[in-house]
Structure 1
Amino acid sequence: MIQLLLHKKLHTAKGMMPLDIDLAITPGEFVTLYGASGAGKTSTLRMISGLLTPDNGKLVVNDVVWLDTSKKTNLKPQQRKLGFVFQDYALFPNMSVLKNLEYALEKHQDNSIITELIDMMELGELQHQKPSTLSGGQQQRVALARALVQQPEILLLDEPLSALDTKMRIKLQDYILKVHQKYKLTTILVSHNIGEIIKLSDRVCLLEQGKIIKSGIPSTIFATHQMSAKFQFTGEVLSIQKEEVVFIVTVLIGTNVVKVIAQESEIANLTTGDTVIVASKAFNPVIQKVL
């Protein structure tokens, strides 16, 4: 079990904001922090990693105290068994892919994990190249592999896919799920992409002004009302056109464009660019805007 009680006054564009996080995470759970910019998501990850010290609080990971300000316990980042993947990759530009991974090895650690990760992340043909020769998606695969070298208890992901195009983003999501399940990780993601959150997460926590205001299954949290359906996909509304007595809503789902027949009541609050859930109930498609 991971127990977080973190409190810190943050300087934001709107002035001082008290960050107050009280969260328990089950080992092996995939949790996403979601909220507006400045809500405290990245600061929470930085406090878990030890890169930012809370004013007061406690962090216990599988019965090991990483942080307890009341007892002046505060493990250094390198003493915390975690991996951290950032949006900007943070690779060493003068090192090859292989050297970037080897650099992350702990002293006396068996380097067989490097071979395993290169194979899993399909980096074999790239291992002797330097980051500058790689695409954004390839660099992020290297960054993800490097974060796993020390076989962390917690994997932190701070919007790692936001700079990638849709096709590459979907592929990297699959890699993240693969390593999460393979290494039985506890993963904490920061993301603004609702489709991504629904695909990856067991639970989503909504942050507002430094506090978790709601937590639950993503499809339930984001839906405006409950839907029981055979399948559900999340996409972006590309267009809404009226055809006689119905409306045709064109939705981008992943890299596929689908058209959904909708009633006027279903499109009343929809506009181009909205994120929606497309679901099927007894072969009748239903479209619903998400929050």
Structure 2
Amino acid sequence: MIEIDVQKELLGSMGKMDLHVKLSIEKQNFVALSGQSGSGKTTLLRILAGLESAKGQIKVDDEVWLDEAHCLPPQKRGIGFVFQDYALFPNMSVLENLLFVRKDKALADQLLSMTELSELSNRRPATLSGGQKQRVSLCRAMMNRPKLLLMDEPLSALDPSMRTKLQHEILTLHKAFGTTTIMVSHDPSEMYRLSSRVIVLSQGHVVQDGDAKSVLLRTQGSQKFSFEGELLDIVKVDVIYVAIVSIGQQIVEVVLDGGEAKDLRVGDSVSIGTKAFTPILQKLI
């Protein structure tokens, strides 16, 4: 269990504001942290990592990371941090970047295998694609088997297909290592795929907190959408089916009958149209 109750004065998007966040996070949860730019998301991650000072308390299991008299240094917190800009050592190979964190070749080989990087282990970062660099960054963050993995929009610079691939790999590592994960994201489909809980910040305070479906559907609404999207989930409710579809930067629900749902699979590209204000969903060929 992670207990967080922190305060810090910030200069936000609308001037001075007080970041005040009080949360309890269960072990092995995957939490998505969302909200407008300047709402305090990255600052909260940096406070958890020990990279910024704050008032209050952070307690992880029975270990105090922060209180009035004590602030545990970042290197003693057992965290992994994945940044947007990869932060790899350019003069080291992929494998050397991992072993710099911890001299455990077996673990490094396992991580590289899980992320399909084994054949690139002797390459330097400059020779890798953006997606490959981010996978190396993720593997490096896992080398200490962290209690807490922090990710600050790690996939924002990647194309959609690579984002989807890395989302799968992030979730695989999260489950395999049983790590508690907090990820900043603005992508609703990413949050829906990965997280068990979504927390929305506004002006330094938590304004929404719940499971991904309830928070994202309430936030995004279904009043506006484009015509093409990705099928994220199909849920049977009594005699009907409810499709969860990502459309641009929105997530919507569409009610289907058994005949409409039978040929659909999660991950399908779909089109949505309307007929007398009732959405009609069809698989794209």
* TM-score strictly above 0.5: yes
CA RMSD of aligned residues (A): 2.4
DSSP-derived class of the 1:223 partner: helix
Q: Is the 8 A contact 2:12 2:40 kept in 1?
A: no
**Pairing partner for 2:184 from 184, 190, 197:** 190
Q: CA deviation at 1:230?
A: 4.4
Structure 2 letter corresponding to 1:30: F
Distance 1:219 1:237 in 2: 14
Distance 1:40 1:161 in 2: 19
Q: Is the 8 A contact 1:166 1:254 kept in 2?
A: no
Q: Is the 8 A contact 2:270 2:281 kept in 1?
A: no
Structure 1 ranges of 4+ moved more than 3 A: 224-231, 253-257, 263-267
**What is residue 20 of structure 1 aligned with on the other side?**
20
DSSP-derived class of the 1:163 partner: coil
Q: Is the 8 A contact 1:170 1:254 kept in 2?
A: no
- Work out whether 1:63 is the aligned partner of 2:62: yes
- Work out whether 1:141 is the aligned partner of 2:135: yes
* CA deviation profile, 1:180-228 (whole Å, cap 9, x unmatched): 0000110001000001001101000111100001101111112147995
**What is residue 86 of structure 1 aligned with on the other side?**
83
DSSP-derived class of the 1:138 partner: helix
* CA deviation profile, 1:210-259 (whole Å, cap 9, x unmatched): 00011011111121479954442323289xxxxxxxxxxxxxx9986422
DSSP-derived class of the 1:112 partner: helix
Compared CA separation, residues 38 and 264, structure 1 to 2 (3 A): farther
**What is residue 99 of structure 1 aligned with on the other side?**
96
Q: Is the 8 A contact 1:167 1:254 kept in 2?
A: no
- Work out whether 1:47 is the aligned partner of 2:73: no
What TM-score do you get using the length of structure 2 for normalisation? 0.82
**What is residue 250 of structure 1 aligned with on the other side?**
none
Q: CA deviation at 1:110?
A: 4.0
**Pairing partner for 1:115 from 109, 112, 133:** 109
Compared CA separation, residues 98 and 195, structure 1 to 2 (3 A): same
* CA deviation profile, 1:90-128 (whole Å, cap 9, x unmatched): 1011111011001011xxx54321121111111111110
Distance 1:202 1:12 in 2: 28
Q: CA deviation at 1:266?
A: 5.7
DSSP-derived class of the 1:187 partner: strand
Distance 1:35 1:43 in 2: 13
Q: Is the 8 A contact 2:12 2:39 kept in 1?
A: no
Aligned length: 250
**What is residue 163 of structure 1 aligned with on the other side?**
157
What TM-score do you get using the length of structure 1 for normalisation? 0.80
**What is residue 171 of structure 2 aligned with on the other side?**
177
Q: Is the 8 A contact 1:167 1:255 kept in 2?
A: no
**What is residue 72 of structure 2 aligned with on the other side?**
75
**Pairing partner for 1:201 from 195, 201, 208:** 195
Distance 1:236 1:254 in 2: 17
* CA deviation profile, 1:55-88 (whole Å, cap 9, x unmatched): x1100001110111x2x11011101101000011
Q: Is the 8 A contact 1:8 1:19 kept in 2?
A: yes
- Work out whether 1:235 is the aligned partner of 2:247: yes
Of 16-25 and 112-121, the range deviating more from structure 2: 112-121
Distance 1:13 1:285 in 2: 39
Distance 1:264 1:90 in 2: 52
Compared CA separation, residues 82 and 219, structure 1 to 2 (3 A): same
Distance 1:265 1:33 in 2: 33
Compared CA separation, residues 127 and 110, structure 1 to 2 (3 A): closer
* CA deviation profile, 1:27-79 (whole Å, cap 9, x unmatched): 0100011100000000000000000111x1100001110111x2x11011101
**What is residue 32 of structure 2 aligned with on the other side?**
32
Compared CA separation, residues 285 and 256, structure 1 to 2 (3 A): closer
